[in-house]
Amino acid sequence: MPSGAAVRARHMKSFVEAVQGLEDERAEAILGATRPGMLESVEEATPSAWLPLELNVELTELTSQRLAKEAFDFYRHMMLAEYETSLFKSFIAMSIRMLGLAPSTYVKMTPRGWPLVFRRCGVFRALEQSKGRALLRVTELPEICTRNEVWLESVRAGFASAFDLTKTPGRVEWHELSLPLRRAVFVFQW
């Protein structure tokens, strides 16, 4: 793992459980296509351990390939379920107490929340915010995350869960996406 980029085992465990939750041949196809030992590495890791980011990218690519157009909703619901875990529950409660419950809160807290799940995997910064709109930039992404759009699309889908969390109709689109420069800007609109 040359970059040192990593993902929390807790997140990977939730990811594997979400795939298993598909309860059809797609789950078996996705998990059966993982590299030997990957699932065991995830299963045996303590929840707070760091695992190589490559495991997350691999599972994301396999899942997206198999689910195709359904992938966006899969990642959105997976992230929403993750908010109920012990890792996020207290973080979200504290954020709501400090800033209120709105999509703009989600954008403001992402730079602090992201490192709970990912290490050396991009630097987030909330940019302009106006009524019904906010921009969130990520830079310094590891190359593995930008070899194609798949991993970043899963991140965008996960961010769309902000609207479920806040019970606000809205969407997350690309304001900018530059794989060669390893950066992106997400625009939240509600």
Q: How far apart are CA 35 and CA 20, in angstroms?
A: 17
The pLDDT of residue 27 is: 97
The pLDDT of residue 26 is: 97
pLDDT in tens, the chain (190 residues): 346 999 999 999 999 999 999 988 999 999 999 999 999 999 999 999 999 999 999 999 999 999 999 999 999 999 999 877 666 677 667 766 666 778 998 899 899 989 999 999 999 999 989 999 999 999 999 999 999 999 999 999 999 999 998 899 999 999 999 999 999 999 999 9
The pLDDT of residue 23 is: 81
One DSSP character per residue, 66-97 reads HHGGGHHHHHHHHHHHHTTSHHHHHHHHHHHH
Q: How far apart are CA 177 and CA 167, in angstroms?
A: 27
Q: Which CATH number fits domain 6-189: 3.90.1520.10, 3.40.50.2300, 3.30.300.170, 3.30.465.10?
A: 3.90.1520.10
Q: Which residues pair with 141 in a beta bridge?
A: none
Q: How far apart are CA 75 and CA 57, in angstroms?
A: 13
Q: What pTM was computed for the model? A: 0.91
DSSP label at residue 126 = E
3-state DSSP assignment of residue 31: helix
Domain ranges of the chain: 6-189
Please choose, from the candidates 107, 98, 109, 32, the residue with its C-alpha nearest in 3D space to the C-alpha of residue 63. 32
> What is the amino acid identity at position 184?
A
